[in-house]
Amino acid sequence: MKGKQGFVLILLIIIPVFISGCWDSIELNKLSIISGLGWDVDADTGQVTLTFQSIIPSETKGAAGSSGDGGQKRGNPLHTIQLDSSTGSSAYDALNRYSQHSSRRTFYQHTQLYILGRSAAEQGIYPFLDSIARNPINRPNVLMVVSEKKARDILSIQDGMESIQAMGMAAEIKLSAEYSQYPVVTYLEFAQRLLSETTAPLAPMVGIIEQAGPEGDSVKKTRINGTAVFKGDKMIGQLNEDESRGLLWAINKIKKGFLVIPGANLEIVTAKSKIIPELQDEKIKITIAIDEESNLLEYDGHREISSDLLQDLEKGQAREIERQVMAAVEKSQALNADVFGFGDTVHRKYKKEWPVLKARWEDIYPYIEVVVKVKTHVNEIGEINKALMRD
Amino acid sequence: MPGFLFKKLHFKKILNHEQKKSAGQYSSSVSLSQNLEENLRVLREALGSSSDVIIRDMKISSDSNIDAAVVYIDGLVDRALLNHDILRPLMFNLQLIKDNLSHNHKSLIDYIKSSVLTVGQITVVQDIDRVIARVLTGHTAILAEGATRALLIDAKGWETRRIEEPKNELSIRGSKESFTETLRTNTALLRRKIRDPRLTFESLQIGERSKTDVSIAYVQGITPDNLIEEIKQRLQRIDNDIILDVSYLEQFIEDSPSSLFPTVGSSERPDVVAARILESRAAILVDGSPMALTVPFLFIEGFQNPDDYYARPFFAALVRWVRLLGYLLSIYLPGIFVSLKTFHPELFPTQLLVSVAAAREGLPLPVVLEALLMLLLFEILREAGLRMPRSLGQAVSIVGALVIGQAAVSAGLVGAPMVIVIATTAIASFLVILFAEPGALYRFIMTLAGGLLGLFGIVLVSIEMLSHLASLRSLGVAYLSPVTPLNIRGLRDTFIRAPLWAMDSRPASLDSPNTRRQSSGQMPRPPKSSSQQGDTQ
């Protein structure tokens, strides 16, 4: 009897080990790691095309075995990724069609980038956003960008030093936050803006430029060159370089970067901004207060550094910042898209009035009076006081 | 499950025990007779016809008319001592003394003891069994015609190993002596460290055939009495035919024989054992074993090292953390690596995942098997390195390094990251030698659990391991104390090692009747002012 019990006990321990069968275990070499995902929609048919950029691990350095073979091929960026597209009536249709003819299971947890084709963005990306949010395997911190043309075009360009293109581009976008030129938007931030009732979602835009290559040929490169402005899930316009900077000033996203004013170039050290709404006689007035400090990097004039000159520089900076912000304000009012989140600040401050305002926000927004108040300060002037050359 | 297996084994043990009992060897105790011939006959019968048993007949007393015999075992006695201080006085000095003692046989033995023999330790016995037993341990027996008592002289002397440097527990600054196989030497080593009159060595003989001398060392008034009683009880319960090593005793007296973790400590260093005795532990020494057991044994002791106390406290704390971390690594690393690779690749940083995935391409075995194979290979190498003749060591290390390190990777059988993981694990497993055995077992279990159930499995095994550790006791002391049950004062010698002047009390969990170890406030500091310098006393 005792032996029997022991036997049953052993069975109870051993059997689950096998029937549990590692149900969601999967070997790494049976995975296709998707580094970037592109979303295009055919304007006429509405067919969805998903572009998968997956990593081919055996082509990256550090692959097992074979230290001798393919030395040339290895590390050649074009071989480390595989680009494949599949078309279907919806996101999951396209995905399933792709998975069916893939030798490996797709793995999205390490996806770096979602690239939206411009025409797809203009038609509305809600189906895409939904399919991403609904599946727990997708991470909310994936960067979103809008391609000037098709998403696939961007994913197929090898640019930069990274062997895996999407990872390289993601690194580039993250690093660009240091220059505070275009917004860096993750899926989560995009969705949060979408959830807000009035704020317009944003995404940086990526275009393709051609440069002369080392052998006289032309080499395609990707460039971030604007900010896509959405209204709801549809892209309705874009901000250029100045307007994008102005937007970042207003929404307190300037970390570091450079500011060019006539005759001088300054390095932004710190910048803070605040949006202060005011409701007077049913009219909304927004004050954007910006506080900025910078170092002088370059001064092309011949004046000696003096408090006068510094004041001039500070004024010049303030003018330039105000110009950028106002450019962004004007563009957004022309698009009637609340990229700054003015609506949210008003909501927060005037809770009672908000329901009425919200209903008419479309009509109110283009006519909001915006005042920009800029305080600037030049901290350091560099190693020299006097100009090297006098007039 | 181990418990279940042990129950089965236990049943068998009882059977063996019964069989052995029935084959008892000596008849009940017999007193010495007055007839020397008769006594010698019994001795010959008992000791058999072994060539190393020497029975030296002689005639003693002034008129050479009393028969006597000296019985000893050749090789166990110091011949010089025997010849000069036993045989010579017996046969020569006795001759010189003119008196009538020869007529009073009863006091002859006493006379020999008190006035003739010039050796230190002599006992008088009446039992022939005792004579036999003592002769077998190296005593020399003197029997005389007409005397019902025999003299047992401690003239032991045999070839022994010198006191050498510790081989397994190395220390940079500590003493460089280690225990030897001779019990007396070992007790002397301890006595030289603790010159307290209350340092006690209680002797026992264990082993029905081996009659091995066992000594319990403790300091009266520091080690709790009930602990000593418990140890004695446990030792006296042992009914084994041979005790070859101190680890034999360990297996008979430990609290949790089915645990993977040792609940009895051991050390080959006299300084460590002396320190533990003064921490109110008891030590058990066994003749023939260069190790001493110390009980109770706490988990944290596995991570303590003599150098912790010889080095300065800050570095000691660092090293202790390294040891803890290394031990955790040695248990968990392969398991976590396997489970990340098979179940949770999303937990790798992307760049690392790409490298790991690249190394994984084209490997024939699943990750679990790969890991288990490498672990097994390492265990094989380790065991081979340990057991093989020293002259072959180089061959094995070359083959091992080449096979594991290079050939397997370049042949595409094993991934390079796996080699790194196993190698790291292997090195880390040597950080805490005392727990190397449970570490190796848990390493296999963790790897298997990680490969079959992912991190879930690892968490399951960890819970099992932790609750098991928390349930263990060593001679009634909770194994994980002073961490759990928590004892704040005791923590001064766990994750950190407090300065020696701050450790004023003995470990509280050991329940010593004398917890005070030194006066407090001994932190070295400059005198407050020169005028008060003399007043501090």
CATH number (domain holding residue A319) = 3.30.300.210
CB contact under 8 A, A22 and B416: no
This prediction has a pTM of 0.80
B447 and B314 fall within a common domain: yes
Residue B465: CB atoms within 10 A of its CB come to: 17
B321 and B469 fall within a common domain: yes
**Which residue, A323, A309, A143, A152, is CA-closest to A242?**
A323
Give mean pLDDT, residues B425-434: 91
A9 belongs to a structural domain: no
Residues of chain B with C-beta less than 8 angstroms from the C-beta of A112: 350
Give mean pLDDT, residues B12-39: 61
B506 belongs to a structural domain: no
B322 belongs to a structural domain: yes
Q: Which residue of B has its CA nearest to A19?
A: B452
Tens digits of residue pLDDT in B522-535: 889 898 775 555 44
- Residue B105 has a pLDDT of 53
Residues of chain A with C-beta less than 8 angstroms from the C-beta of B341: 27-28
A92 and A217 fall within a common domain: yes
Q: Which of B474, B495, B516 is the last residue of a domain?
A: B474
Residues of chain A with C-beta less than 8 angstroms from the C-beta of B354: 33, 55, 57, 60, 164
Which H helix or E strand runs over B219? strand B212-219
Q: Which of B153, B173, B199 is the last residue of a domain?
A: B153
State the complex-level ipTM: 0.78
3-state SS, one letter per residue, for B46-98: HHCCCCCEEEEEEEECCCCCEEEEEEEECCCECHHHHHHHHHHHHHHHHHHCC
**Which residue, A261, A242, A260, is CA-closest to A250?**
A242
Answer with the residue of higher pLDDT: B406 or B436: B436
- Residue B22 has a pLDDT of 43
A154 and A282 fall within a common domain: no
Q: Which of A184, A214, A239 is the last residue of a domain?
A: A239
Q: Which of A188, A206, A239 is the last residue of a domain?
A: A239
B99 and B228 fall within a common domain: no
- Residue A330 has a pLDDT of 93
Give A124 to chain B, closest Cα distance, Å: 30
A3 belongs to a structural domain: no
pLDDT of B56 higher than 90: no
A218 and A79 fall within a common domain: yes
A124 and A150 fall within a common domain: yes
CB contact under 8 A, B452 and A31: no
B13 belongs to a structural domain: no
Most confident range, picked from A202-206, A280-284, A356-360:
A202-206
Give mean pLDDT, residues B401-418: 82
Q: Which residue of A has its CA nearest to B5?
A: A6
A189 and A247 fall within a common domain: no
A195 and A219 fall within a common domain: yes
**Distance separating alpha carbons of residues A144 and A300, to the nearest angstrom:** 39
CB contact under 8 A, A66 and B454: no
A252 and A357 fall within a common domain: yes
- Residue B224 has a pLDDT of 92
pLDDT of B307 higher than 70: yes
Picking from A33, A58, A164, the nearest residue to B362 by CB comes out as A58
pLDDT of B63 higher than 70: no
A11 belongs to a structural domain: no
Give mean pLDDT, residues B285-307: 92
Give A93 to chain B, closest Cα distance, Å: 24
B454 and B320 fall within a common domain: yes
Give mean pLDDT, residues A287-301: 89
Containing structural domain, residue A259: 240-391
Q: Copy the structure tokens of residue A137.
A: 């395997």
Interface probe for B, chosen from A25, A105, A111 (most Cβ of B below 10 Å), is A25
Q: Which residue of A has its CA nearest to B407?
A: A65
Q: Copy the structure tokens of residue A200.
A: 């317009």
B433 close contact with A: CB closer than 8 A: no
Interface size between A and B, measured as CB pairs under 8 A: 103
Q: What percent of chain B has pLDDT over 90?
A: 35
B289 belongs to a structural domain: yes
Tens digits of residue pLDDT in A210-253: 888 777 778 888 888 899 999 988 999 999 999 999 999 999 98
Tens digits of residue pLDDT in A25-69: 788 888 889 999 999 998 888 889 999 999 888 777 655 444 444
Determine contact, residues B57/B142, Cβ cutoff 8 Å.
Answer: no
A182 and A264 fall within a common domain: no
Give mean pLDDT, residues A138-152: 91
B219 belongs to a structural domain: yes
A322 and A213 fall within a common domain: no
Determine contact, residues A52/A106, Cβ cutoff 8 Å.
Answer: yes
Q: Which of A239, A260, A282 is the last residue of a domain?
A: A239
Tens digits of residue pLDDT in B314-336: 999 999 999 999 999 999 999 99
A201 and A325 fall within a common domain: no
B139 and B49 fall within a common domain: yes
- Residue B147 has a pLDDT of 80
B442 and B320 fall within a common domain: yes
A174 belongs to a structural domain: yes
Least confident interval from A335-344, B84-93, B337-346 = B84-93
CB contact under 8 A, A164 and B354: yes
Determine contact, residues A373/A292, Cβ cutoff 8 Å.
Answer: no
- Residue A245 has a pLDDT of 92
Tens digits of residue pLDDT in B31-48: 888 888 888 888 888 887
- The Cα angle at residue B51 between residues B47 and B52, in degrees rounded to 5: 75
A290 belongs to a structural domain: yes
CB contact under 8 A, A61 and B358: yes
CB contact under 8 A, B411 and A65: yes
A177 and A221 fall within a common domain: yes
Tens digits of residue pLDDT in B181-240: 989 899 999 999 999 999 999 999 898 888 889 999 999 999 999 999 999 999 999 998
Picking from A59, A62, A65, the nearest residue to B410 by CB comes out as A65
Most confident range, picked from A211-220, B162-171, B400-409:
B162-171
Q: Copy the structure tokens of residue A65.
A: 């075995």
**Distance separating alpha carbons of residues B376 and B385, to the nearest angstrom:** 14
pLDDT of A324 higher than 90: yes
Give A33 to chain B, closest Cα distance, Å: 8
Interfacial residues of A (vs B; Cβ cutoff 8 Å): 6, 9-10, 13, 17, 20, 22, 24-29, 31, 33, 55, 57-67, 107, 109-110, 112, 137, 139, 164, 167
B418 close contact with A: CB closer than 8 A: no
List, as ranges, residues 236-255 from B with C-beta within 8 Å of A: none
B109 and B209 fall within a common domain: no
Number of domains forming the structure of chain A: 2
Q: Provide the CB-side half-sphere exposure for A136 (13 A, CA).
A: 0
Query: B510 pLDDT band (50/70/90 cuts)?
Result: confident
B314 and B450 fall within a common domain: yes
A21 belongs to a structural domain: no
Answer with the residue of higher pLDDT: A336 or A71: A336
- Residue A18 has a pLDDT of 63
CB contact under 8 A, A62 and B360: no
Tens digits of residue pLDDT in A154-176: 888 876 677 788 888 888 888 88
CB contact under 8 A, B416 and A64: yes
Give A72 to chain B, closest Cα distance, Å: 17
Least confident interval from A2-11, A258-267, B252-261 = A2-11
CB environment A332-355: b (16+ within 10 A), e (fewer): bbebbbbbbbbbbbbbeeeeeebe
DSSP B32: P
How high does pLDDT run on average in chain B? 85
| CA distances in angstroms from B203 to B215, B271, B283, B477, listed in the order given | 4, 21, 12, 24
Give B464 to chain A, closest Cα distance, Å: 14
Residue B29: CB atoms within 10 A of its CB come to: 10
Q: Helix (H, G, I), strand (E, B), or coil: what is residue B441?
A: helix
Residues of chain B with C-beta less than 8 angstroms from the C-beta of A25: 342-343, 451-452, 454
Containing structural domain, residue B333: 310-474
B320 and B465 fall within a common domain: yes
| CA distances in angstroms from B433 to B172, B251, B326, listed in the order given | 17, 18, 11
Which H helix or E strand runs over B251? helix B246-253
Give mean pLDDT, residues A127-143: 89
**Distance separating alpha carbons of residues A180 and A250, to the nearest angstrom:** 12
A115 belongs to a structural domain: yes
Determine contact, residues B174/B99, Cβ cutoff 8 Å.
Answer: no
A289 belongs to a structural domain: yes
Contacts of A169 (CB under 8 A, 6+ apart): A36, A112, A113, A145, A154, A159, A160, A206, A222
B79 and B203 fall within a common domain: no
Give B357 to chain A, closest Cα distance, Å: 6
Q: Which of B425, B441, B474 is the last residue of a domain?
A: B474
- Residue B39 has a pLDDT of 87
pLDDT of A365 higher than 50: yes
B412 close contact with A: CB closer than 8 A: yes
Give mean pLDDT, residues B480-497: 87
B15 belongs to a structural domain: no
A169 and A235 fall within a common domain: yes
Picking from B346, B410, B411, the nearest residue to A110 by CB comes out as B346
Q: Which class for A307: exposed (0-12), middle (13-18), buried (19 or more C-beta within 10 A)? A: exposed
Number of domains forming the structure of chain B: 3
Q: Copy the structure tokens of residue A245.
A: 């900077």
Tens digits of residue pLDDT in A69-121: 444 444 455 578 888 899 999 888 898 888 888 888 888 889 999 999 998 99
B317 and B283 fall within a common domain: no
B145 and B249 fall within a common domain: no
* Direct distance between the N- and C-terminal alpha carbons of chain B, in angstroms, rounded to an integer: 62
CB contact under 8 A, B1 and A10: yes
